[in-house]
Structure 1
């Protein structure tokens, strides 16, 4: 807007965008001072930056939660990547995280915009009084929650390398503990089956040793050119012992127990093969936050959280500290003009309520005018209706006076059982 005493520079597209983000009125700012324009430019910039950080943090948190699980150090190295390069991004999860990050960033941006734009300017002085702080507590509380939701994903991303190393150690410990527990469970079952097998194995060993001894004696007897009856007797004993060994090896009890043992060993092997998969599951967002707190310590973690809280809560405190400027007075003037145009009158501190608080009296003149017109119209309609009824009654009376028989229905009474 051009003036003789002051000329404001035309705002750029970026400045108008930040004005809108701060909830400021472009029409008033274009007619205000450059200081007001810069003030709301900075407020809008903080809100936009907070929304962008929230979107990045939300997207990273989503990706951390839903990414494919694996080894914390080289979980992204695919088997198909023969060249040894690392595929550090899972495309489907990244696309989902991108969509979620955009939605989350827009939500936080809109919420921050509402918090800042709905925060009043206090009493128009630089001092933040207790009353102003009390009124801003709900907005400060919501802003602190938003700051914490943004700071934690950013914090675990800052210490990602240290977290991955520590998480890899925990995964190895988890894998070893899982293997030890699996062995302890299955080994007890295997030991029970082996106790039953050992008895049969001992008997088989004894018979096999006896068979071996008889076989040696038979060979010695066969060294003669003409074997005698002793060799035949030994051969008969060997055949009988071989039948006993075969029957014992194929006994139902021995076969059953041995098959059950093999089945348990297969189950144990399958469970042990799953140990790496279960250990890789120890890679969620909560576990990374815990490790991050262990690595960074409470001081650094608190510092990062307070940093984001300062960024998030700064616009609220600044609005409470702002001194009234031409923009504020012009905004109040436009509000009063709009109220006057619509017949709204506010009588400030008009009465006290039961608790002693001063309340304003709001007079809706436009409403009162319409209400009076409506009441007068209803009263006039009532009077017209009454006059019409009176005139209709007089007309009917004249008709009765001229022709009374038209309004009287003469009927002859008839008695039951009597002839007329």
Structure 2
């Protein structure tokens, strides 16, 4: 806009983009001072930067959650599918945060137009401040775990190794009891057979002594016959026990082999189980542990400052030509649309001042409709009266035509 006393600088495309990000009206800003243009460009720059950081933080958090699990310190192959999904989610998350920030900042007015932030202004901005604080927290935590990634990986690897050892120890303990139980069964069944066989050997030695004469007269006598009968009976018992216990022993040995295979399989899965510790929640916990309370608080406050600065900044802004031009444009649009506002017209029952708002165009239309209905009503009454006069005249001229007599 050309003026004799001041010429507004021509904005660049980048400046216009930042104006839109801050919710500024480019038509009015082009006619405002350079300081107004810079203010809204800076506001838009902060909002754009917040959206970019949110995109990076959201994408990194998504990849951390869904990346292939493994050792924390070993270089794993990059999952391109997860990376592509992370980029898509990061772009979506960044645009969503950008839009929320844009809404929060653009809906925050300039307060009372002074540099001081009064309690009334702060109270009105509390919902926007809470939304901004939540957004800042969602951005700060993924950035925090990325800042301390090396330290977190080391701590996480140590935790994974400890978890792996604990898991292997629990597997050893679980299968040791099962294997020991099968071994005890085998020992019991083998002892039954061994006891009978040892007794058979003793009887066999006794029979040999009887036949050789070492224990008395030599030859096959009554005592030798008795021992031989005991041996036959014991041999039958041994066969019965072997037929019963041998399948059970073989089954127990098969169970032991199966338990050993399952044990080794579970031990091989110990690394996979330990890799389950590599999650977003675990990394956030380790980040707090490594960084400590104060450093973690400082990072959070840093993002809170970035996120909430535009809101406080707008509350501290002194009314400038842009604000007055914007207000004037709004009043012109309102007047053009036939809307009349009388501010602080009356107080309600709570003592709060209310405005009187009249929609002149709608009131004009309603008045036209009302007068048209009134005119139509008068014309109808007049037509009815004329019709009545005409019919009365016809009756006076020929009353018999309106009366039907019964013959």
TM class, shorter-length: 0.7 to 0.9
Instruction: Please say which of residues 302-311 and 198-207 is displaced more in the overlay.
Output: 198-207
Deviation at 1:410, TM superposition (A): 7.1
Q: Of 349, 365, 389, which aligns to 1:370?
A: 365
RMSD: 2.9
2-structure distance, mates of 1:395, 1:273: 113
1-structure distance, mates of 2:12, 2:286: 46
> Structure 1 residues 250 and 203 mapped into 2: Cα distance closer, same or farther (>3 Å)?
closer
1:27-71 Cα offsets, whole Å, 9 max, x none, are 111111111111111000000000110011001000100111111
In structure 2, stretches of 5+ residues that fail to align are 205-227
Does 2:163 correspond to 1:168?
A: no
Q: How does 1:241-260 map to 2 (within 5 A)?
A: 247=242, 251-260=246-255
Q: Of 72, 75, 79, which aligns to 1:90?
A: 79
> Structure 1 residues 395 and 102 mapped into 2: Cα distance closer, same or farther (>3 Å)?
farther
> Structure 1 residues 29 and 210 mapped into 2: Cα distance closer, same or farther (>3 Å)?
same
2-structure distance, mates of 1:293, 1:322: 37
Residue matched to 2:279: 284
Q: How does 1:2-401 map to 2 (within 5 A)?
A: 2-74=2-74, 76=76, 87=77, 89-202=78-191, 247=242, 251-394=246-389
Q: TM-score, normalised by structure 1?
A: 0.82
1-structure distance, mates of 2:145, 2:304: 17
Q: Does the 8 A contact of 2:189 with 2:245 survive in 1?
A: no
2-structure distance, mates of 1:343, 1:5: 34
Q: Does the 8 A contact of 2:114 with 2:318 survive in 1?
A: yes
1-structure distance, mates of 2:65, 2:393: 94
Deviation at 1:399, TM superposition (A): 6.1
1-structure distance, mates of 2:182, 2:369: 99
> Structure 1 residues 390 and 293 mapped into 2: Cα distance closer, same or farther (>3 Å)?
same
Q: Does the 8 A contact of 2:60 with 2:86 survive in 1?
A: yes
2-structure distance, mates of 1:39, 1:261: 78
Q: Does the 8 A contact of 2:192 with 2:241 survive in 1?
A: no
SS of match in other structure, 2:17: helix
SS of match in other structure, 2:74: coil
In structure 1, stretches of 5+ residues that fail to align are 77-86, 215-232, 413-420
Query: Aligned residues, how many?
Result: 378
2-structure distance, mates of 1:263, 1:20: 70
